Structure 1
Amino acid sequence: MPRAHWKGELAALVRLAVPVVLSELGWMAQGVVDTIMVGRLGPVSIGAVALGNALFYTPSLFGIGLLLGLDTVVAQAYGRKDYDDCHRWLAQGIYLAIAITPVLMILVAAASFGFGRVGITAEVATPAAAYLRILNWSILPLLIYGASRRYLQGVGQVKVITLTYVAANLINWGGNWVLIYGHFGLPAMGVRGSALSTVIARILMAVSMLGFAWRYERKRGHPLFKHWAGPQLDRIKELIRLGLPAAGQITLEVGAWNAATLSAGWLSPIALATHQIAINYASVTYMVPLGVSAAAAVSVGHAVGAGDKARARRAGWLALGLGTSFMIIAGIVFFIIPRPLIELYTHDPAVLAVGPSLLWIAAAFQIFDGVQTVCTGALRGLGETSAPMIANFIGYWILGLPLGLILCFVLKWGIYGMWIGLTLALIVISSILLLRWHRDSEKLCAQASLQT
């Protein structure tokens, strides 16, 4: 391929990836803002928000995962210039979001009563349960936002997603300040105020995304609600076929890290607070390859829809280079300045004694986290969603998590042991998915060559 074409495709990928990366960082920032804003209340409140978010995100991210099939179908429809089909897929995504919300809310509500039953201390369990029950009301707007966002990404409208998250985080930050500590005559609600602020922000996110989708469709002369498609069972089944493995992969991955959070809760409030701070940093850096992964899914899907299989393969490899390059830099930062990073959250001496070593472990797995994340998106652009689920099951639940529990509780390595086990999991998962992407993309190009 001529160098000019290669550079042009990289530039196009970056233009797509940067707003999506900023959006993923905005998503992560909601939890980070909640953690920082309750930080003045002490390690118990930090731990309560950590546990509440941990249990909330497992079922809610399963719901978001079910909608990831929109990445494939919308991007491929856009690539073959079937714009009305993109619109119809959005409608089916909204129907799916509405259908699964009651089930997810019931699961979250039930989970809010389980903290004390799994050995979490009462001083943490009580505020964590209160936080979770309020946060539960954000599931439907979060899923409507998710469906609308996948649609807008698929049709190349990514900047509006970033604008939405900037506004949502400013609202969440202000809401936390008002509701946690009781300003403007309102009562000080503590961690419950933080949850309520997040619910309000997510409602505004859902309204904003649908508004931008309506504006985009109006500009192209096809008003969104005037031509809104009714439920189509075959399309909803296709979304579930693509999305269920993706949802399973997310649940397995998030569930493993949430198991680590629960394990930290069994150790001590200090271990839990330290774990939460370190995982916040690892999660922030993870948002960058996650955004690149979404851009890879769209770029690969566009190329597949247009029938350009070679460009689809190049898009995946370019995304891998972009995502892993960032993670190498992130790992270096974690290794060089761990203590100042911890001090942005707290100056508690017990937390500062443990935290830097956890960030050193996080530095070791950054590149593997980047590889597995971007590969997952590139494969999704091809329509392959099962391989990441299988890889995550093997890496986390067969190897990494059991090893982490043994090191943590049997060999008494504490929270360090858990993180070492999960690092092994990421090495295994990234290796499996990198080989799978190489094989599937090479096979795609070989098939294209035979057809010509």
Structure 2
Amino acid sequence: MKQTYTKPQKIRLLFYILIPILITQLSMYAMTFFDVMMSGQYSTQDVAGVSIGSSLWTPVYTGLSGILIALTPVVSQLIGSRKFKSVSYSVMQAVYLALALALVILIVGAFCLNPILTAMNLEDNVHRVAHDYLIALSFGIIPLFVYNALRAFIDALGQTRISMVITLGALPVNVIFNYLFIYGKFGFPELGGVGSGYATAITYWIIALTAILVVLKIHPFSTYDVFREFFRVSLKEWRALLSIGVPIGLAIFFETSIFSAVTLLMSKYDTVTIASHQIAMNFASLLYMMPLSMSMALTIVIGYEIGAARYKDAREYSFIGITLALMMSLVLSAILFFFREPVASAYTKDHAVMLLTSHFLIYAIFFQISDALQAPIQGILRGYKDVNVTFAMSLVSYWILGLPIGYFFAKYTDMGAFGYWIGLISGLALGAIGLAARLRFIQQVKFKKLA
């Protein structure tokens, strides 16, 4: 990280940090993308099972791993204020916290998985695939959470290309093991969609071990002596991380879990509708990696500037980031509109699923503009360590307003399953408006007198 003085310098630095983050996020998400797509080539029931499994896993993973995002602004501000000796301690405490969160997921999942799937009244084979997929995936939860903690440290130093190389290198491994386990090639068992869970778990172990080696051996990470000393668990440091991380995690959970709630509500529809909905949601989520990556990049640069008490520079980064995200959303919307049919055909050979998916993708276009506003603002507010109001807004906009709106349109109009997408669009739009108002308050009132 370095100080910038002009807008062109800020744009260059932001892209320098953003592009590797985007490639990293696409690589991470591509694992789920290939799980769903390759399972869809195996059978419609397998893609439905894997999609439901991933829709249950995603909000849990993103919500709890979102807690670890707290390490990014913590380390960014430590470096901005030149408190280098405190970095190793904070990183190790985040790793301990990651292990604890992973164990909590495994324990809770052991008791809750079957009741949740049973409540969905799925077809027997779809139920089996979803259950076994999640069991397979669970073998990779511990390394995945450790990797997320280390990645927060790596990215906070502005070295986002390292995270990119790690995850991009692991993606072909995931695809290869998907091919071997799903279709039973070269003597491997033919597991169908369940095999994608084992493939992803193996990949999570690879990226975690690689990240540990990077932190130990490669400059500048090795200079911070992470893993050189195993500090005692500090509940005080955990509280500091959790005070920032829990609101972040809950905000992410409320946003992602509403999509899973919609999947649960849509379980009353037939397998074709469920599969089509999940395929469209999978691709829309893939496009969401763009504003999400901008959000993560903005957290890093804003945190660095706030740590150095350069509040005017923080505001300039905010304006640049939001503007770029909105411009990119227009491009993504065009791609989604003109290529929705080829996208649908990439996931499935079933003509009915393909046709219905292309209709769902039209609604997904409206996600883009709201996401291009709310995701970057969330990242900016995290850089300021302002996270509590964001969490409350997520609860209200998605669950108290968005979900009931979707339920109304689905149940009391002739829109059917599409009605739930109206609710999702409404929730995202309302969330974006609320976050924009909060950012204006932070910059124009709370920090203006310090600039």
Q: TM-score, normalised by structure 2?
A: 0.95
Q: Using the alignment, how far apart are the partners of 2:268 and 2:288 within structure 1?
A: 26
The Cα shift of 1:406 comes to 2.0
Q: How does 1:305-320 map to 2 (within 5 A)?
A: 305-320=307-322
Is the 1:134–1:195 contact (alpha carbons within 8 Å) kept by the matching residues of 2? Answer: yes
Residue of 426, 429, 444 corresponding to 1:427: 429
Give the match for residue 88 of structure 2: 87
The structural deviation recorded for 1:401 is 0.8
> Does 2:17 match 1:16?
yes
5 Å matches for 1:261-272? 261-272=263-274
- Separation in 2 of the partners of 1:438 and 1:218? 36
Deviations 1:227-251 (A, max 9, x none): 4433222111100110111111111
Hey, what does 1:240 align to over in structure 2? 242
Deviations 1:353-388 (A, max 9, x none): 322221111112211112111110100000011122
Percent of aligned positions that are identical:
26
Deviations 1:133-175 (A, max 9, x none): 1112221111101100001111112111111111221111000
Greater mean deviation of Cα atoms: 206-215 or 303-312: 206-215
- Partner residue of 1:414 out of 413, 416, 424: 416
- 2:248–2:387: 8 Å Cα contact kept in structure 1? yes
Residue 194 of structure 2 is matched in structure 1 by 192
Q: Aligned pair 1:368/2:370, yes or no?
A: yes
Give the structure 2 partner of residue 146 of structure 1: 148
Structure 1 distance, partners of 2:261, 2:199, is 26
Seen in structure 2, the aligned counterparts of structure 1 residues 210 and 140 have a Cα distance that, compared at 3 Å, is same
- Whether the 8 Å contact between 1:55 and 1:111 is mirrored in structure 2 is no
Question: Which position in structure 1 is the counterpart of 2:173?
Answer: 171
Deviation per residue, 1:282-333 (Å, 9 max, x gap): 1111111111100000000000011101111111221111222211111122
Aligned with 1:156 (options 158, 161, 168): 158
Query: Once superposed, what is the RMSD of the aligned Cα atoms?
Result: 1.7
What SS class does the counterpart of residue 233 from structure 2 fall into?
Answer: coil
Bigger Cα displacement from structure 2, 6-15 vs 80-89: 80-89
Conserved? CA contact 1:293–1:374, under 8 Å: yes
Counterpart of 2:70, as a letter, is: G
Q: Which residue of 2 aligns with 1:180?
A: 182
Provide the residue aligned with 1:32 in structure 2.
33
Runs ≥4 residues deviating over 6 A: none
Q: How does 1:279-298 map to 2 (within 5 A)?
A: 279-298=281-300
Q: What is the letter of the counterpart of residue 130 of structure 1?
A: D
Shift of 1:40: 1.9
Q: Could you tell me which residue of structure 1 aligns to residue 7 of structure 2?
A: 6
Q: State the SS of the aligned residue for 2:430.
A: helix
In the alignment, which of 341, 344, 347 is matched to residue 346 of structure 2? 344
Q: Which runs of 5+ in 1 are unaligned?
A: none
**Is this contact kept in 2: 1:68–1:150, CA < 8 A?**
yes
Correspondent of 1:229 among 224, 231, 245: 231
DSSP-derived class of the 1:38 partner: helix
Q: Which amino acid aligns with 1:161?
A: S
Match of 2:306 in 1: 304
Q: Deviations over 1:376-419 (max 9, x none)?
A: 01000000111221111111111111111222233242221000
What is the CA distance between 1:222 and its match in structure 2?
Answer: 4.5
Aligned residues: 447
Q: Distance in 1 between matches of 2:196 and 2:328?
A: 31
Query: How many Å separate the matches in 1 of 2:221 and 2:346?
Result: 45
The alpha-carbon deviation at position 445 of structure 1 amounts to 4.2
- The residue identity in structure 2 corresponding to 1:272 is I
Distance in 2, matches of 1:216 and 1:235, equals 26
SS in 2 for 1:188: coil
Q: 2:120, 2:267 within 8 Å by CA — same for their partners in 1?
A: no
Structure 2 stretches lacking a partner, 5+ long: none
Q: Which residue of 2 aligns with 1:97?
A: 98
> Cα 1:142–1:229, aligned 2, differ >3 Å: closer, same or farther?
same
Is the deviation greater in 159-168 or in 435-444?
Answer: 435-444
Contact kept? 2:22, 2:289, Cα under 8 Å: yes
Cα distance, 1:61 vs. partner?
Answer: 2.0
2: CA distance between counterparts of 1:428 and 1:229?
44
Matched residue SS, 1:119: coil
Amino acid at match of 1:197: A
Paired residues of 1:217 and 1:224 also in contact (CA < 8 A): no
